[in-house]
């Protein structure tokens, strides 16, 4: 399916949007930084009554700053391993893909596998945020090192799968997990269990914006899906593409989407 420009998105459909699900790295952020423009757009979306949910591959320990400082309504971390939100009294609540004992068992298996990865690919090391994770193990493929070649990335993913783990990639990390959780499965659970939005309603009233292969489950599930322009760098890694694409890259693409939606609401 070819991606279309935002301008081709039917106005009646856009006006039904009640919330934004957004990836973080290279979608909401720009080259590892949060920009004033992206944070301001997030605030404009809130003031317009849109629910804002972060859906990231970043670790569970990142969720509190995203909730408190960026003021997201909920944060889904580690590609669906965990989710956090604040209740009506401002207390943080959480849900996980599995109970604590199971997560610890999975964690040990992943740490053991890190040694195997190092033996095969000495330059592919656990990501800087690996110790802050509870459900997956991320390997650095482009965050603090020059981006590894696509051929090597494919070999890394193959090694993960050969050892019985589930694998996905973002623009900066390759992820291994024992359980087959995904951004889509946890998004569906959070929308329904926390906010009372059925999956059928979410498909008509929530837009997802992302940029990389670990967003494919979201692109496939949500008809109202958008890619920031830098998604074109990774399309050959995708199992599913978004319906629409921004003109702008990175956080500027997020700003473009928000302004596009709010323009319709203000008309």
pLDDT band at 134 (very low <50, low <70, confident <90, very high): very high
How far is residue 70's CA from residue 198's CA, in Å, rounded to a whole number?
Answer: 26
The pLDDT of residue 1: 58
How much is the mean pLDDT over the chain? 96
Q: 188 in helix, strand or coil?
A: helix
Q: What is the pTM of this model?
A: 0.95
Residues 65 and 84 in one domain: yes
pLDDT tens track for 172-188: 999 999 999 999 999 99
Residues 29 and 154 in one domain: no
138 and 129 in contact (C-beta within 8 Å)? Answer: yes
pLDDT band at 223 (very low <50, low <70, confident <90, very high): very high
How far is residue 53's CA from residue 259's CA, in Å, rounded to a whole number?
Answer: 17
pLDDT tens track for 65-96: 999 999 999 999 999 999 999 999 999 999 99
Residues 81 and 173 in one domain: no
The pLDDT of residue 266: 64
Last residue of a domain, one of 155, 177, 199: 177
Number of domains the chain contains: 2
pLDDT tens track for 21-38: 999 999 999 999 999 999
Q: Please, which residues have CB within 8 angstroms of residue 260's CB and are 6 or more apart in sequence?
A: 6, 9, 14
Residues 93 and 104 in one domain: no
For CA atoms 73, 79, 80, 82, the dihedral sign is negative
Residue range 235-248: average pLDDT? Answer: 91
Residues 44 and 157 in one domain: no
Q: What is the dihedral of CA 66, 71, 75, 77, to 10 degrees?
A: -10
The pLDDT of residue 236: 79
Phi-psi category of 53—alpha, beta or left, where left has phi over 0 and alpha has psi -120 to 50?
A: beta
Residues 210 and 244 in one domain: yes
Residues 86 and 215 in one domain: yes
80: domain range?
Answer: 4-97+181-266
Residues 157 and 38 in one domain: no
The pLDDT of residue 234: 80
For CA atoms 176, 182, 183, 186, the dihedral sign is negative
Residue range 40-58: average pLDDT? Answer: 98
Residues 153 and 194 in one domain: no
The pLDDT of residue 233: 85
The pLDDT of residue 265: 67
How far is residue 252's CA from residue 254's CA, in Å, rounded to a whole number?
Answer: 5
């Amino acid at each position: 399916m070819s991606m279309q420009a935002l301008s081709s998105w039917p106005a009646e459909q856009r006006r039904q949007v009640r919330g934004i699900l957004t990836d973080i790295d290279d979608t909401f952020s720009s080259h590892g930084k949060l920009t004033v423009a992206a944070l301001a757009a997030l605030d404009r979306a809130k003031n317009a009554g849109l629910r804002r949910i972060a859906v990231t591959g970043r670790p569970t320990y990142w969720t509190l700053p995203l909730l408190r400082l960026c003021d997201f309504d909920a944060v889904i971390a580690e590609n669906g391993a965990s989710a956090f939100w604040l209740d009506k009294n401002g207390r943080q609540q959480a849900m996980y893909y599995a109970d604590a004992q199971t997560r610890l068992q999975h964690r040990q298996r992943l740490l053991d596998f890190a040694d195997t990865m190092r033996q095969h690919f000495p330059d592919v090391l656990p990501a800087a945020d690996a110790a802050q994770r509870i459900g997956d193990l991320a390997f650095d493929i482009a965050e603090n090192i020059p981006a590894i070649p696509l051929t090597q990335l494919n070999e890394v993913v193959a090694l993960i799968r050969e050892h019985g783990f589930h694998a996905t990639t973002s623009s900066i990390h390759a992820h291994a997990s024992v359980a087959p959780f995904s951004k889509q499965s946890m998004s569906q659970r959070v929308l329904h269990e926390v906010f009372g939005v059925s999956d059928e309603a979410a498909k008509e009233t929530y837009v997802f914006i992302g940029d990389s292969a670990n967003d494919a489950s979201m692109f496939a599930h949500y008809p109202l899906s958008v890619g920031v322009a830098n998604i074109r760098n990774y399309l050959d890694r995708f199992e599913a593409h978004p319906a629409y694409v921004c003109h702008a890259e990175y956080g500027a693409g997020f700003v473009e989407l928000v302004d596009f939606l709010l323009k319709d609401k203000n008309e």
